[in-house]
Amino acid sequence: MAFDDPLSRRRFLGGVAASAASGWVRAGGGAAASAPGPKATDELTRLSAVEAVALISRGEISAVEYARALLEQCEAGASLNAFITLRPEQVLAAASECDRRRQAGERLGPLHGLPIPVKDSVNTRDLPTTAGTPALRHFQPREDAPLVGALRKAGAIVLGKTNLHELSYGYTSNNHAYGAIHNPYDPSRVPGGSSGGTGAAIAARMAPLGVAEDTEGSIRVPAALCGIAGFRPTTGRYPTHGCVPISPLFDQVGPHARSVADLLLFDGAVTGSPTSAPAPVSLSKVRLGVIRPFWFSGLDSEVEEVTTAALDKLRRAGAELVEGDLPQLPHFIELITDPVQNHDVMPSLTRYLAEYHTGISFEELLAQASPDVQRMIRPAITPGTHDFVPDAQYEEIVRVHLPGLRTMYQEYFARSGVAAIVFPATILPAPRIGEEDMEVEVRGRRMPLDEAMARNIAPGSTAGLPGLVLPAGLTPSGLPVALEFDGPAGSDRSVLALGLAVEAVLGKLPPPRALSRVSLQPKAARTEAERP
């Protein structure tokens, strides 16, 4: 975690406590003794977003008190390296203003006083947006991304900017410029990517709700590996302008949380939909699609065991598992998923860099990027290579193949009557940090780690479907395993309502063990002063 001012742990905690105390007096307009009694940090950090907002809005806790507890948890988990930028004084000042507004009787938004970590690829007017890459280390956007603006309008506070896989180009969040992010359930392992910082922060109780971003799994993979809930909405449901892009056809921001109710709160705050939970869904009336030939083949044995047990729970709760097949799916994914991103990454980034006045060209951005990211992007932009996609090929993808994939899904949902397709989100649980450059072996088959992370989640984001990830259980070694539920395009609220029922059956995972204060930073990580 990076602080703009290199405070020691003692100075950090002391400064937070002092600022919080003075902030509460300012907010209350009187003596601190008139404020609600303080709650233990661990009690406050266990709150869901729905619970925290309700308590703050009623004045049962102050926004400053709650922000202080989250900041203390951020410091306790600093070794996870979940944040690139965190400014405690700025957070506490915003929280104090929230308390002032409540005391003044002003109208409060649905996220009033809630600190929300934001992936550092989403523009913020008061914090840098680095995209986790050296060339943008000092880039300060002039205005918020529309999504951040909507969250602030709803009363939220930006807690800080979370670390990520550099330029969102990877599934591990082993960022070679800003240091690897660590999984709270086992710090020797990755949290998933690219939104690994947000995923780790939510799992480690640094906040109950956070902003992630997904092109081909970057919301859902970290949610799966960190044992939390993640939601990628139908493409276009939330605004993506002001976010460092890969492809306008696939990019989509979305939330990480520890409960489906908090995902619904986020969805309502951004879209204007109801923020309260809809009427409960009875699983006895729900049909769930199971496509074993694609999503269940070649699973790691522990993932398969946890998945099977979770599906049995859903079946016993009354859900009907409808077996089926989509034989065209692998062909469509091969034609569309990687080629679209390979074609779009250079023009998309070029437009972003110019539109937001970064002062950096695409060539300069890539020249300063870490070698692992350069190895992935350069072949995609170099004519004559296997990964380069000419405009004519791209036009055929957009005109023929992508509509064909969407039609295939529409027809499947119509004829099967399923509310969602269910499958394990990833083939493997979280691998160890540093394994991303190696092949992994699953059931005797060797494959690149990216394939093991991406195979199951790629179809939904390619087709633009809403995808909900929920924890299904833990492996014997204590690593999270998750299920994903992909519904028809536009069925976002129905998928989230289904998630409430599924969550009630599967339950939530126990929290990660107490966070160590011993630094776990790998040698590749650098201090704020040493970073490029």
pLDDT (tens digit, 9 = 90+) per residue, 279-293?
Answer: 778 999 899 999 999
Q: What CA–CA distance (Å, rounded) separates 407 from 350?
A: 32
461 is catalytic: no
Q: Catalytic pick from 194, 259, 348, 491?
A: 194
Give me the pLDDT at residue 515, please.
Answer: 59
pLDDT band at 204 (very low <50, low <70, confident <90, very high): very high
Lowest model confidence (mean pLDDT) among 27-31, 245-249, 356-360, 445-449: 27-31
- For residues 310, 314, 315 and 318, what is the CA-based torsion angle, rounded to 10 degrees? 170
Residue 483 forms beta bridges with which residues? 424, 470
Spell out the residues 6+ positions from residue 507 whose beta carbon is closer than 8 angstroms to its own. none
Domain boundaries along the sequence of the chain:
9-222, 330-389
Report how far residue 406's alpha carbon sits from residue 187's, in angstroms, rounded to the nearest whole number: 39
- Nearest 5°: the CA angle 58, 263, 317 is 110
pLDDT, tens digit (0-9, with 9 covering 90-100), for 343-400: 999 999 999 999 999 999 999 999 999 999 999 999 999 999 999 999 999 999 999 9
Beta strands of 335-475 (E only): which ranges?
A: 420-424, 439-442, 445-448, 467-474
pLDDT at residue 439, as a whole number:
83
Please choose, from the candidates 286, 299, 279, 223, the residue with its C-alpha nearest in 3D space to the C-alpha of residue 467: 223
> Got the DSSP string for 127-159?
B---TT-GGGTT---SS--HHHHHHHHTT-EEE
DSSP 160: E
User: Which residue in 19, 62, 96, 119 is the catalytic one?
Assistant: 119
At residue 179, φ and ψ (nearest 5 deg) are: 95, 150
Distance CA 492, CA 212 (A): 17
CA-based R_g, the chain, Å: 22
Q: Which is it for the CA torsion 78, 477, 196, 149, positive or negative?
A: negative
For CA atoms 509, 514, 515, 520, give the dihedral sign: negative
Map residue 372 onto helix, strand or coil: helix
Return phi, psi of residue 255, to 5°: -100, 155
Residue 456 has pLDDT above 70, yes or no: yes
113-163 confidence digits (pLDDT tens):
999 999 999 999 999 999 999 999 999 999 999 999 999 999 999 999 999
Is residue 20 predicted with pLDDT exceeding 70? no
- Distances in Å between the Cα of 429 and the Cα atoms of 77, 112, 201, 442 are 22, 36, 19, 11
Tell me the per-residue pLDDT of 54-105, one tens digit each, with 9 for 90 and over: 999 999 999 999 999 999 999 999 999 999 999 999 999 999 999 999 999 9
Judge whether 288 and 319 are in contact, CB under 8 Å. Answer: yes
Residue 272 has pLDDT above 50, yes or no: yes
Average pLDDT taken over every residue of the chain? 90
* CA 376 – CA 369 distance, rounded (Å): 11
What is 303-319 written as a DSSP string? HHHHHHHHHHHHHHTTP
Dihedral sign for Cα 112, 115, 117, 123, please. Answer: positive
Span 418-425, mean pLDDT? 98
Least confident of 18-27, 81-90, 464-473: 18-27
Are the beta carbons of 292 and 423 closer than 8 angstroms? Answer: no
The answer to whether the bond into 370 is cis (omega within 30° of 0) is no
Q: Rounded to 10 degrees, what is the CA torsion of 377, 382, 384, 386?
A: 0
Q: ∠ CA 445-440-204 to the nearest 5 degrees?
A: 135
Rounded to the nearest 5 degrees, what angle is found at the Cα of 52, between the Cα atoms of 51 and 56? 120
Q: List the catalytic residue out of 57, 218, 370, 491.
A: 218
In eight-state DSSP terms, residue 432 is B
Q: Whole-angstrom Cα distance, residue 157 to residue 112?
A: 8
Per CATH, the homologous superfamily of domain 9-222 is: Amidase signature (AS) domain (3.90.1300.10)
Does residue 119 have an active-site annotation?
A: yes
Phi, psi (rounded to 5 degrees) for 322:
-100, 110
